[in-house]
Chain A
Amino acid sequence: MTVEVGTELPALSVRLRRDDLVRYAGASLDFNPIHWNEKTAKDVGLPDVIAHGMLTMAVASRIVAEWIGDPGAIVEYGCRFGRPVVVPNDDEGALVEVTAKVTKDLGDGTVKVNINAAFDGKSVLTGAFARVRVG
């Protein structure tokens, strides 16, 4: 597969609702109540229940996995958790919009892909990137 630097990956929009947070809590075994209990979230100063940073990170990884076809080609993946994704208790939930672009050919059969995940018009993951095997 030949991949040009500058290639933009097909964008991905993911809606996270409360039931998604509960399902992720169960699957990941991260039962921190700030991800499902409004009272706990507000007691620690959050506006409402927030998504697990690791859920946002996992959702953002899909843009690369769906583009490359073999998720095993993702040899490195990292990010900083910049802002929380606030998930209200309604049908709308929170919309996370993921975009990504190939930014560098690392010369060893891998490329660097920079990933942006935005919620409410602001980036929630900082410096998110994947190193992906393309050769």
Chain B
Amino acid sequence: MPLDPAFTGRSYPPSQPYDVSREKIREFADAIGATSPAYRDAEAAKALGHRDVIAPPTFAIVVSMKTNETVMFDPELELDYSRVVHGDQSFTHHRPITAGDRLVCVAHIDAITSRMGNDMVTVRTEIGTVDGEPVTTAKSMLVVRGQDA
């Protein structure tokens, strides 16, 4: 059954705050083989003008994961998780995610479209500090493969 396009525009309540730590950033940088000192050494990051070590450009996916799951498992949306494929992803950084940040995510369904039996759901997650400073806008397009696809 195709997803109901009427869910376009739906917004979800803010997530629990996510505390960004130097250790988690280092662990993520190690996992992607990234060597930049700005991910590991607070002094090197400060020399580049940052408050503390910064996170790699795709680290926001870790911060927003719980929020994206809230959308994927939204019972009203009736999205078949076993048929979901990650179609595309983008991040716009208003500033880099930085160790010491307390971040809150708010997810919005920007679009639901259908093409050739597949549903496409675009989820926009606005990531900002608990004080309301915008940090990153993450957009994920999820493809829900149709039964015949």
Interface residue ranges, A against B (CB under 8 Å): 14, 20, 23-24, 26-30, 53-55, 57-59, 61-62, 65-66, 69-72, 74-81, 127, 130
Q: Provide the residues of chain B in CB contact with A54, threshold 8 Å.
A: 58, 61, 86, 89
Known A57-B89, A72-B38, A81-B87; contact A24-B31, beta-carbon cutoff 8 A: yes
Q: Provide the residues of chain B in CB contact with A24, threshold 8 Å.
A: 31-32
Interface of A is mostly: helix
Interface residue ranges, B against A (CB under 8 Å): 24, 27-28, 30-36, 38-39, 48-50, 54, 56-58, 61-62, 65, 85-93, 95-96, 139, 141
Which of B49, B86, B141 has most A Cβ within 10 Å? B86
B38:A77 contact, CB within 8 angstroms: no
Contacting residue for A61 out of B48, B49, B56, B141, CB 8 A:
B56
B57:A65 contact, CB within 8 angstroms: yes
Contacting residue for B54 out of A29, A66, A71, A76, CB 8 A:
A71
Q: Provide the residues of chain A in CB contact with B86, threshold 8 Å.
A: 53-54, 81
B38:A80 contact, CB within 8 angstroms: no
Q: Provide the residues of chain A in CB contact with B95, threshold 8 Å.
A: 72
Q: Provide the residues of chain B in CB contact with A58, threshold 8 Å.
A: 32, 34, 56-58
When C-beta atoms are compared, the residue in chain A nearest to B91 turns out to be A77
In the bound assembly, the distance between CA atoms of A28 and B31 in angstroms comes to: 9
